[in-house]
Amino acid sequence: MSEETTEEEVKAKSPVVKIVLIVVGILLLVAITVGGTLFASGFFDANESGSAEQAIAALEMEAAEQAAEAEAAAAGPDKVKQDSPELTRFEPSYFVLPKVLVANISNSRKVMQATVAIMTFYDERVIENVDTHDFPLRFAMLKVMRNTTEAEVADADFQDNLAAKLKTEMNAVLEGLEDFGGIEAVYFTEFVVQ
Protein backbone atom coordinates (compact mmCIF):
# COMPACT_ATOMS: atom_id res chain seq x y z
CA MET A 1 0.00 0.00 0.00
CA SER A 2 2.81 2.35 0.59
CA GLU A 3 3.83 2.02 -3.01
CA GLU A 4 0.36 2.95 -4.19
CA THR A 5 0.28 5.98 -1.98
CA THR A 6 3.50 7.33 -3.31
CA GLU A 7 2.35 6.78 -6.85
CA GLU A 8 -0.95 8.53 -6.08
CA GLU A 9 0.90 11.35 -4.34
CA VAL A 10 3.25 11.67 -7.30
CA LYS A 11 0.29 11.69 -9.67
CA ALA A 12 -1.45 14.32 -7.51
CA LYS A 13 1.68 16.45 -7.29
CA SER A 14 2.52 16.27 -11.01
CA PRO A 15 -0.38 18.57 -12.17
CA VAL A 16 0.73 21.12 -9.55
CA VAL A 17 4.31 20.92 -10.79
CA LYS A 18 3.14 21.30 -14.38
CA ILE A 19 1.09 24.39 -13.51
CA VAL A 20 4.01 25.94 -11.60
CA LEU A 21 6.38 25.27 -14.51
CA ILE A 22 3.91 26.80 -17.03
CA VAL A 23 3.45 29.93 -14.87
CA VAL A 24 7.23 30.31 -14.45
CA GLY A 25 7.71 29.83 -18.22
CA ILE A 26 5.09 32.49 -19.03
CA LEU A 27 6.64 34.94 -16.54
CA LEU A 28 10.08 34.31 -18.01
CA LEU A 29 8.74 34.87 -21.55
CA VAL A 30 7.09 38.18 -20.51
CA ALA A 31 10.29 39.34 -18.79
CA ILE A 32 12.40 38.55 -21.88
CA THR A 33 9.91 40.35 -24.14
CA VAL A 34 9.85 43.49 -21.94
CA GLY A 35 13.64 43.49 -21.61
CA GLY A 36 14.13 43.06 -25.36
CA THR A 37 11.71 45.88 -26.13
CA LEU A 38 13.44 48.23 -23.69
CA PHE A 39 16.82 47.33 -25.12
CA ALA A 40 15.66 47.85 -28.72
CA SER A 41 14.12 51.22 -27.87
CA GLY A 42 17.38 52.45 -26.33
CA PHE A 43 16.19 52.52 -22.76
CA PHE A 44 19.49 51.15 -21.48
CA ASP A 45 21.66 53.61 -23.46
CA ALA A 46 23.55 56.32 -21.61
CA ASN A 47 21.13 59.08 -20.68
CA GLU A 48 22.23 62.34 -22.29
CA SER A 49 21.26 65.35 -20.23
CA GLY A 50 19.58 68.09 -22.24
CA SER A 51 19.04 65.96 -25.34
CA ALA A 52 15.39 66.98 -25.47
CA GLU A 53 16.34 70.65 -25.11
CA GLN A 54 18.96 70.28 -27.83
CA ALA A 55 16.44 68.64 -30.15
CA ILE A 56 13.91 71.42 -29.54
CA ALA A 57 16.56 74.08 -30.15
CA ALA A 58 17.59 72.38 -33.41
CA LEU A 59 13.96 72.22 -34.57
CA GLU A 60 13.41 75.89 -33.70
CA MET A 61 16.54 76.88 -35.64
CA GLU A 62 15.41 74.85 -38.65
CA ALA A 63 11.96 76.47 -38.52
CA ALA A 64 13.54 79.94 -38.34
CA GLU A 65 15.71 79.17 -41.39
CA GLN A 66 12.68 77.94 -43.34
CA ALA A 67 10.74 81.07 -42.38
CA ALA A 68 13.63 83.27 -43.56
CA GLU A 69 13.78 81.39 -46.88
CA ALA A 70 10.02 81.73 -47.36
CA GLU A 71 10.20 85.45 -46.59
CA ALA A 72 13.04 85.90 -49.08
CA ALA A 73 11.08 84.02 -51.75
CA ALA A 74 7.97 86.10 -51.10
CA ALA A 75 9.97 89.33 -51.36
CA GLY A 76 10.70 88.56 -55.01
CA PRO A 77 13.93 88.36 -56.92
CA ASP A 78 16.94 90.53 -56.21
CA LYS A 79 18.12 93.24 -58.54
CA VAL A 80 21.29 92.39 -60.43
CA LYS A 81 23.98 95.03 -59.76
CA GLN A 82 26.32 96.29 -62.42
CA ASP A 83 29.99 96.75 -61.50
CA SER A 84 30.65 100.47 -61.36
CA PRO A 85 33.12 102.20 -59.04
CA GLU A 86 31.23 105.50 -58.68
CA LEU A 87 27.57 104.60 -58.82
CA THR A 88 25.34 101.71 -57.97
CA ARG A 89 23.74 100.71 -61.26
CA PHE A 90 21.57 97.76 -62.02
CA GLU A 91 22.09 95.46 -64.98
CA PRO A 92 19.05 95.40 -67.30
CA SER A 93 17.83 92.12 -68.77
CA TYR A 94 15.74 92.00 -71.93
CA PHE A 95 13.31 89.42 -73.25
CA VAL A 96 11.35 89.44 -76.50
CA LEU A 97 7.98 87.70 -76.32
CA PRO A 98 8.03 84.86 -78.83
CA LYS A 99 4.79 85.63 -80.69
CA VAL A 100 3.56 88.73 -82.50
CA LEU A 101 0.43 90.37 -81.05
CA VAL A 102 -2.33 91.23 -83.52
CA ALA A 103 -5.48 93.09 -82.41
CA ASN A 104 -8.29 95.08 -83.99
CA ILE A 105 -8.53 98.74 -83.07
CA SER A 106 -11.76 99.49 -81.21
CA ASN A 107 -14.65 100.55 -83.49
CA SER A 108 -12.42 100.52 -86.56
CA ARG A 109 -11.45 98.34 -89.48
CA LYS A 110 -7.78 98.92 -88.70
CA VAL A 111 -5.52 96.29 -87.22
CA MET A 112 -2.55 96.76 -84.89
CA GLN A 113 0.40 94.35 -84.94
CA ALA A 114 3.28 94.52 -82.46
CA THR A 115 6.25 92.51 -81.26
CA VAL A 116 6.75 93.18 -77.56
CA ALA A 117 9.96 93.10 -75.52
CA ILE A 118 10.34 93.65 -71.79
CA MET A 119 13.17 94.97 -69.63
CA THR A 120 13.81 94.18 -65.97
CA PHE A 121 16.54 95.00 -63.45
CA TYR A 122 15.77 91.85 -61.47
CA ASP A 123 17.30 88.42 -61.90
CA GLU A 124 16.23 85.78 -64.41
CA ARG A 125 13.20 84.73 -62.34
CA VAL A 126 11.18 87.61 -63.81
CA ILE A 127 11.95 86.49 -67.36
CA GLU A 128 11.19 82.86 -66.41
CA ASN A 129 7.85 84.02 -64.95
CA VAL A 130 7.03 85.93 -68.16
CA ASP A 131 7.92 82.88 -70.25
CA THR A 132 5.95 80.53 -67.97
CA HIS A 133 2.81 82.69 -67.95
CA ASP A 134 2.84 83.55 -71.66
CA PHE A 135 -0.86 82.83 -72.24
CA PRO A 136 -2.38 85.01 -69.48
CA LEU A 137 0.08 87.81 -70.31
CA ARG A 138 -0.81 87.68 -74.02
CA PHE A 139 -4.51 87.73 -73.13
CA ALA A 140 -4.05 90.81 -70.93
CA MET A 141 -1.96 92.63 -73.57
CA LEU A 142 -4.45 91.86 -76.34
CA LYS A 143 -7.28 93.14 -74.14
CA VAL A 144 -5.45 96.47 -73.71
CA MET A 145 -4.67 96.67 -77.42
CA ARG A 146 -8.31 95.92 -78.41
CA ASN A 147 -9.53 98.80 -76.23
CA THR A 148 -7.37 101.28 -78.19
CA THR A 149 -9.31 103.77 -80.33
CA GLU A 150 -8.32 105.47 -83.61
CA ALA A 151 -8.04 108.79 -81.75
CA GLU A 152 -5.47 107.29 -79.40
CA VAL A 153 -3.52 105.87 -82.36
CA ALA A 154 -3.34 109.34 -83.90
CA ASP A 155 -1.79 110.78 -80.70
CA ALA A 156 1.96 111.54 -80.92
CA ASP A 157 2.70 109.68 -77.66
CA PHE A 158 0.56 106.67 -78.55
CA GLN A 159 3.31 104.04 -78.43
CA ASP A 160 4.67 105.34 -75.11
CA ASN A 161 1.18 105.39 -73.58
CA LEU A 162 0.39 101.90 -74.89
CA ALA A 163 3.72 100.58 -73.56
CA ALA A 164 2.94 102.06 -70.11
CA LYS A 165 -0.53 100.43 -70.11
CA LEU A 166 0.94 97.08 -71.16
CA LYS A 167 3.60 97.29 -68.44
CA THR A 168 0.95 97.99 -65.77
CA GLU A 169 -1.29 95.18 -67.00
CA MET A 170 1.56 92.64 -67.29
CA ASN A 171 2.83 93.45 -63.78
CA ALA A 172 -0.71 93.05 -62.42
CA VAL A 173 -1.01 89.60 -64.03
CA LEU A 174 2.41 88.50 -62.72
CA GLU A 175 1.62 89.79 -59.22
CA GLY A 176 -1.58 87.77 -59.27
CA LEU A 177 0.20 84.59 -60.39
CA GLU A 178 3.67 84.89 -58.82
CA ASP A 179 3.23 87.60 -56.15
CA PHE A 180 5.83 89.75 -57.94
CA GLY A 181 5.81 91.71 -61.22
CA GLY A 182 9.29 93.07 -61.87
CA ILE A 183 8.79 94.42 -65.40
CA GLU A 184 10.46 97.85 -65.57
CA ALA A 185 9.69 98.76 -69.19
CA VAL A 186 7.88 97.49 -72.28
CA TYR A 187 9.29 98.11 -75.76
CA PHE A 188 7.98 97.49 -79.25
CA THR A 189 10.55 95.91 -81.55
CA GLU A 190 8.03 95.92 -84.42
CA PHE A 191 4.85 97.96 -84.61
CA VAL A 192 2.37 98.31 -87.49
CA VAL A 193 -1.10 99.86 -87.75
CA GLN A 194 -2.98 99.14 -91.01
**CATH number for the domain that contains residue 103:** 3.30.479.30
Range of the domain at 59: 2-74
Q: What's the Cα-to-Cα distance from 34 to each of 29, 37, 100, rounded to whole Å?
A: 9, 5, 76
**In this structure, are 70 and 134 located in the same domain?**
no
The per-residue pLDDT for 39 is 84
Report how many domains make up the chain: 2
Contact 164, 158 (CB under 8 A): no
Q: Judge if 105 and 187 occupy the same domain.
A: yes
pTM value? 0.57
pLDDT value, residue 174 = 93
Domain finish residue from 74, 95, 125: 74
Residue 41: the pLDDT is 83
Residues 155 and 172 in one domain: yes
pLDDT of residue 73: 63
pLDDT tens for each residue of the chain, 194 residues long: 555 556 666 566 678 888 999 999 999 999 999 989 888 887 777 655 556 677 788 888 888 888 777 766 666 676 666 665 565 667 899 999 989 999 999 999 999 999 999 999 888 889 999 999 999 999 999 999 999 999 999 999 999 999 999 999 999 999 999 888 889 999 999 999 99
Instruction: Answer yes or no: do 160 and 185 share one domain.
Output: yes
Q: What confidence score (pLDDT) does residue 16 get?
A: 84
188-192 contact pairs (CB < 8 A, 24+): 188/114, 188/115, 188/116, 188/117, 188/159, 188/163, 189/96, 189/115, 189/116, 189/117, 190/100, 190/113, 190/114, 190/115, 191/112, 191/113, 191/114, 191/115, 191/159, 192/112, 192/113, 192/114
CA trace torsion 181, 184, 186, 189 (10° rounding) = -120
Q: Around Cβ 126, how many Cβ atoms within 10 Å?
A: 25
User: Same domain for 131 and 178?
Assistant: yes
Question: Which residues have C-beta within 8 Å of that of residue 133, sequence separation ≥ 6?
Answer: 173, 174, 177, 178
At 118, which helix (H) or strand (E)?
A: strand 111-120
